[in-house]
Structure 1
Amino acid sequence: MQKKVKVKPNSKLQKIEEQIDGSLTVHLKSPPVNGKANEELLKILAEKFDVPKSYIRIKSGLSSRQKLIEIDTEI
């Protein structure tokens, strides 16, 4: 499964908002420094989709706020 994700780092609260088009807006507490926000993003998405972090990959947008995430849901 692939999801478009818009990341908002340095937020006060950590939360996920689902948009009408199926994409996600993820508010992260971490700053976008040294991959901290990406690590937090993988962790929060793993919890939401109930899969290990290793099943989630950032396909594109590694250093961007707009990301394409691939989630391997088949175990």
Structure 2
Amino acid sequence: MADWIRSDGKGVILLLHIQPGAKKTEVVGRHGEALKIRLAAPPVDGKANEALIAYLAAKLGVGRTAVGLVSGQTARAKRVRIDGVGAEEVLAALEK
């Protein structure tokens, strides 16, 4: 299992490193113990956080309400909880 994903039976918690203000939104790969995601949204007024939630929900095929920010509201290092998915499903969707 990847270091950046933790399963708790109800869903998963992802350890992410976010790079806002990029040219396009994409999963880049590993960044230490986290998964690095570039976001096209700027880090202003929560726009990057909203873009991250929308991106993960679309990529995993879940509703936006299933994705929530656990910590890192204003930091690049974030913990995101996604309900209703398994670790294998998340790995398949984000590491391809």
TM-score, normalization by structure 1: 0.87
Q: Choose from 27, 40, 58 the match for 1:29.
A: 40
Please state how far the C-alpha of 1:68 moved relative to its aligned partner. 0.4
CA distance in 1, matches of 2:33, 2:61: 18
Stretches of structure 1 that go unaligned for 5 or more consecutive residues are none
Cα RMSD after superposing both structures: 1.8
* Aligned partners of 1:3 and 1:22 also within 8 Å: no
Structure 1 residues 29-68: aligned runs within 5 Å: 29-68=40-79
**1:22: how far off?**
7.3
Contact 1:10 1:30 in 2 (8 A): yes
Name which one, 1 or 2, has greater alpha-carbon Rg.
2
Counterpart residue type for residue 24 of structure 1: L
Deviates more, 1:65-74 or 1:12-21: 12-21
Aligned residues: percent identity? 31
Aligned residue pairs total 74
Q: CA separation of 1:23/1:41 partners in 2, compared to 1, >3 Å: closer, same or farther?
A: same
Q: 1:14 aligns with which of 25, 28, 37?
A: 25
Taking structure 2 as the reference length, the TM-score comes to 0.69
In structure 1, how many angstroms separate the alpha carbons of the residues matched to 2:43 and 2:51?
A: 10
